[in-house]
Amino acid sequence: MLRRLYLWLVPLAATCGVAQVAALSPGNAGYTIEVRLDPEERLLHGSQRLRWTNLQEQPTDELPFHLYWNAWRNDRSSWMLEDRIRGRSDRGEKIDRGDWGWIEVDAMRLAGADGSTVDLETRFESPDDGNPDDRTVLVARLPAAVGPGESVVVEAVWRARVPRTFARTGVRGDFYFIAHWFPKLGVFESDGWNCHQYHAATEYYSDYGAYDVAMTVPSGWVLGATGRQAELRDNGDGTTTHRYLQQDVHAFTWTTSPDYLVAEETFEASGLPPVEMRLLYQPEHSRQTDRHFAATRHALELYGRWYGAYPYGHVTVVDPAWGAGAGGMEYPTLFTCGTRLFNPLGGGSPESVTIHEAGHQFWYGLVGNNEFEDAWIDEGINTFSTLRVMLERYGESFYVKRYFRPPGTEMRGFLPVAFRQLKIDPWRDRVGRYRADATSDVQAAPTWRYFPSSASNITYNKTALWLVTLERWLGWSTVRRILSTFFERWRFRHPGPDDFVAIANEVAGRDLGPFFDQVYRSSEGFDYEVSSTASFPAAVEGWEEVAGEMVYREGVDEEERGDQADETVYRSEVVVRRNGGAVFPVDVLLVFEDGTQVRREWDGRDRWRLFVEERPTKLAWAEVDPDRVLALDLHPSNNSRRLEPNARLPALKWASKWLIWFQDLLLGYGFFA
């Protein structure tokens, strides 16, 4: 018995079938998987072999697995309950019986190096909410504990029904996108297993390892997957097996369809390694292939120069089928973008989503944070980076409105009208989105616990806004060094929030704790306002008011009055308020009618502050935070105030609205005429 236990626990270097080249990651969770797709029944038949090594200092006698697709086996899972709370449907359609998917483990056993196996006892657990109907975590009990540095091999046989798309995975017609599809081990940390149930508002977390995956699909179907193809085998029965290998990744995703077309190009940039780019696209989008490649190049180049090089040498870009619900998602060495038949260049699509998902190859793919608990680390940093790439390579996008929405759907219209004069400030746009959820939750709370409808804004937009605030406050060179240092130290590892804050303090050379107390550990909002402005003749020594004007008193010598004899001194008063609960130092700018500008500093702590200037000219207007350092300000429209209202501005606003409405009417008339 002792000999058999020893054979189970010794390192088994060859179990994954992936060539053991120099590893970049700990590689402690490697999978060898064989899977066959039955498109008639929408079934996957799979078997797998997992080799896992315990990297912690304590033993474990259990292995918990994610069974993500069980979130969609019925409407009682925690994912479905949360999805209803957030008031959305991933497909915008009523769920019927044929939409459901599931995964069923038929066998799980411990394998020894001598070929022996032992069946494992398994049970479902709901560690987060105790939901007895949730079956997204399966725990296997081992016959003996796995000690520090020891390894085990676990085999599993399973079946899964491909759902109609939920959470960017599933089937639509002959389009299959297969993500998070096999029994996936959780992450063993210093305080035990981290294996959350599947939640509607969060994504994923797993260890790095090597993958050797053989996928059998109908012959003639195009297939793309994580990694590189190592073998293509015609089985002689109308099916073909595609074998892909990839080392140093924490997930494996694949897609197949008979409708895909394939384009290939190579990314090359001075000082960065080349990357083979493979684009799987829909036939109707053939005119947009250059745009997909260009956006991917921009991401690989600028992220590579800012943070660190992309190491894999290949990437697959997927243009999902129309209405598939699989667009805009990241996976190791593969991502989905998303476009439309008509997409005017300069409107931000498909460039923005392509850059964002390509950027996730860095923030998520290479820096493997826990997206269940701290999704802002990848999503927020990546949103900030996406907007910087877009501005640097494309400038501000213009407004695009779409008409003629397909009846019976929640999709936007397919006919775009571009308003090229209406530029979109990306940071103001993010404030507009974030405002509704600014005080909904503390960002430091685990992401899966956010109120479901608020998670996106707190994770993506709040983080991007506090990062651009840091950039405007400390300078881009400092923020870039913070991010590149964080990237370099935590590549192929699992960082947490404290790791990021420690590096930010180190690189900035100052204690940024008060800043992070505001933006990360608080749910208070920022809002500074110019509350009132006034400018009136001042009561100055030697002057007196006569008929509403300030003049020198009689008897004052003309020479003594000097150049001020014909001048009126005005006292200008500006009241600035802090409406929000959060505090940030801001400047206050006073601009006078003669063009003179006075800038005053304010620590922003008091609820209000009066600023006074006495000058021989009236105040024209005042502004708090004139350089927009505080990008998190929830109401930037109240940051400035004129002394005298400009009567033309409301007229121009309403005139422009009427012109747009009239243009829409003419476009509609012209379309149907």
The phi and psi torsions of 68 (rounded to 5 degrees) equal -60, -40
Strands (E), 471-628: 528-537, 543-546, 549-552, 570-578, 586-592, 597-602, 608-615, 619-624
Q: What is the pLDDT of residue 566?
A: 54
Q: What is the pLDDT of residue 374?
A: 98
CA 501 from centroid of its chain's CA atoms: 19
Is residue 148 within 8 A of residue 59, CB to CB? The reply is: yes
Residues of the chain with pLDDT under 70: 1-21, 88-94, 407-411, 539-566, 646-673
Measure the CA–CA gap between 385 and 355, rounded to whole angstroms: 9
Measure the CA–CA gap between 650 and 4, rounded to whole angstroms: 83
Is residue 310 within 8 A of residue 230, CB to CB? The reply is: no
Is residue 160 within 8 A of residue 101, CB to CB? The reply is: yes
Long-range contacts of 7-10 (CB under 8 A, 24+ apart): 7/112, 7/113, 7/114, 7/116, 8/110, 8/111, 8/112, 8/113, 8/118, 8/144, 8/152, 8/153, 9/144, 9/146, 9/147, 9/150, 9/151, 9/152, 10/113, 10/150, 10/151
Rounded-to-10 torsion of CA 304, 307, 309, 311? -130
Measure the CA–CA gap between 599 and 616, rounded to whole angstroms: 17
Q: What is the pLDDT of residue 397?
A: 94
Q: What is the pLDDT of residue 657?
A: 53
Q: What is the pLDDT of residue 13?
A: 38
Beta bridge partners of 277: 265, 315
Q: What is the pLDDT of residue 7?
A: 33
Q: What is the pLDDT of residue 244?
A: 98
Measure the CA–CA gap between 670 and 648, rounded to whole angstroms: 32
Q: Report strand pairing: 29-38 vs 43-53.
A: antiparallel
Q: What is the pLDDT of residue 656?
A: 55
